[in-house]
């Protein structure tokens, strides 16, 4: 496994450098590297590394979400509040139900099977989107209207909504008695609980750091440890209480910034350094999950479903940003920023197949195809459109 890690680090840095030199997002190179090294192409990664891949990807995702929280100020959130709430729900709901209906016609799915597929695909990828938005905040791109903060605040809630509705449709398919009203109520409850737990952990961390003076590196490790435990808590109580742990992780950083801004800014720099390694692991290992042959099995109909779903999502973004101070170009940027799929699709795309959903193989193929198509194109689109359509703050 150590040799595989060495290969990932060296080639990951090289691919990042080469793509950056070509004026393209570095993560594209790392995604492609993961596909090439992964078990479905040249199979050059140790099996034991692939076995812990999901845990490593989770840790990397938590690092970037903590860093995101450390960059979210109350003033910025107040500025984007209402629009962020609309962006959290409207685009994902339109995309999910568009795919659900479309798949009944194109693939012969039942509406429940379509709903399972629709809300796997509907989740936007924080792994792709968040690093871009943090970089834009750092470079003051779009910050005059808090556009990076708008995307940051809404992307994680979008995932909570998609995963909750996906689990509802999966329960309906398996014959479980699912109370739709309770499941809908779970979404805001999950969000509120996630934020509440994040606030508590953030306040405890603040008090702890005030009482015990330790090095910033140890503070970073302590915060990351609590973030991992928060995610573990969500998994342990799943099925009993809904908890949006990823949103809670971002909230920890937000509370630290509000209570101890000087310390938070120092910690943000530390997380930036940690992200150099975590970024390579995240995108290479996400790429390694992509089975190109499975994606090709989805065929033209699968691609058509993804494209029409994205059109529905785009309409949702435009509706959500109506009557805001954003120009048409800035709204178009939000549309592009909301297209990449990767994290959620890689995590739950195979679940329907594993639990015996009749169309599970087709659902997995389309989920994989959505990563293959939208992650690189979305990243490229964000990179290009930000330079043309966003103003420097």
Q: Which two tokens stand for residue 295?
A: 């994606």
Kindly give the residue spans of alpha helices, DSSP state H, lying in the chain. Answer: 2-21, 26-37, 47-51, 53-69, 74-106, 111-121, 126-139, 147-173, 180-211, 216-237, 245-259, 261-288, 292-297, 299-320, 328-337, 343-348, 351-354, 360-389
pLDDT at 175: 66
Nearest to 66 by CA among 198, 158, 165: 198
Q: Which two tokens stand for residue 223?
A: 């915060």
pLDDT at 172: 85
The list of the chain residues with pLDDT below 50 reads none
In the chain, what are the domains? 58-393 (1.20.1530.20)
**Residue 78: exposure state from Cβ atoms within 10 A (0-12, 13-18, ≥19):** exposed
Q: What is the 3-state secondary structure (H, E, C) of 331-353?
A: HHHHHHHCCCCCHHHHHHCCHHH
Task: Report how far apart, in Å, the C-alpha atoms of 71 and of each of 131, 151, 277, 386 are.
Answer: 12, 13, 20, 19
**Residue 23: exposure state from Cβ atoms within 10 A (0-12, 13-18, ≥19):** exposed
197-231 confidence digits (pLDDT tens): 999 999 999 999 999 889 999 999 999 999 999 99
pLDDT at 176: 64
For residues 80 and 143, give the distance between their C-alpha atoms in angstroms, rounded to a whole number: 11
Q: What is the DSSP letter of 240?
A: T
Nearest to 389 by CA among 136, 186, 192, 175: 136
pLDDT at 311: 97
> Is the distance from CB of 349 to CB of 368 less than 8 angstroms?
yes
For residues 393 and 390, give the distance between their C-alpha atoms in angstroms, rounded to a whole number: 9
Contacts of 212 (CB under 8 A, 6+ apart): none
For residues 29 and 49, give the distance between their C-alpha atoms in angstroms, rounded to a whole number: 20
Sign of the torsion formed by the C-alpha atoms of 1, 47, 283 and 33: positive
């Amino acid at each position: 496994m150590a040799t595989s890690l060495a290969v990932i680090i060296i080639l990951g840095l090289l691919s990042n450098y080469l793509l950056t030199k070509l004026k393209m997002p570095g993560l594209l190179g790392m995604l492609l590297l993961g596909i090439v090294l992964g078990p479905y192409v040249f199979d050059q990664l140790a099996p034991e590394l692939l076995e812990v891949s999901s845990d490593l990807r989770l840790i990397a995702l938590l690092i970037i979400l903590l860093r995101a929280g450390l960059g979210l100020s109350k003033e910025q959130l107040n500025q984007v509040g209402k629009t962020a709430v609309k962006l959290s729900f409207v685009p994902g709901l339109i995309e999910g139900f568009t795919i659900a209906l479309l798949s009944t016609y194109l693939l012969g799915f039942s509406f429940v099977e379509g709903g399972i597929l629709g809300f796997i695909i509907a989740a936007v990828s924080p792994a792709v989107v968040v690093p871009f938005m943090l970089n834009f905040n750092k470079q003051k791109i779009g910050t005059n209207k808090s556009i990076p903060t708008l995307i940051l605040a809404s992307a994680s809630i979008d995932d909570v909504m998609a995963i909750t509705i996906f689990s509802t449709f999966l329960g309906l398919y398996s014959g479980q008695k699912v109370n739709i009203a309770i499941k809908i109520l779970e979404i805001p409850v999950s969000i509120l609980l996630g934020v509440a737990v994040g606030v508590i952990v953030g306040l405890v961390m603040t008090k702890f750091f005030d009482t015990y003076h330790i090095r910033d590196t140890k503070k970073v490790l302590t915060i990351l440890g609590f973030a991992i435990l928060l995610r573990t808590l969500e998994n342990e109580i799943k099925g009993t209480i809904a908890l949006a742990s990823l949103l809670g992780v971002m909230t920890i950083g937000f509370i630290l910034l509000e209570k101890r801004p000087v310390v938070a800014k120092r910690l943000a720099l530390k997380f930036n350094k940690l992200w150099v390694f975590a970024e390579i692991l995240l995108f290479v290992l996400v790429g390694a999950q992509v089975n190109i042959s499975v994606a090709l099995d989805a065929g033209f109909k699968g691609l058509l479903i993804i494209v029409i779903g994205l059109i529905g999502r785009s309409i949702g973004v435009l509706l959500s940003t109506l009557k805001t101070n954003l120009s048409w170009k800035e709204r178009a940027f939000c549309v592009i920023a909301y297209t990449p799929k990767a994290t959620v699709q890689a995590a739950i795309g195979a679940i329907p197949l594993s639990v015996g959903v009749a169309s599970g193989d087709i659902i997995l193929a389309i989920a994989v195809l959505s990563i293959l198509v939208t992650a690189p194109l979305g990243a490229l689109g964000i990179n290009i459109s930000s330079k043309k359509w966003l103003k420097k703050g």
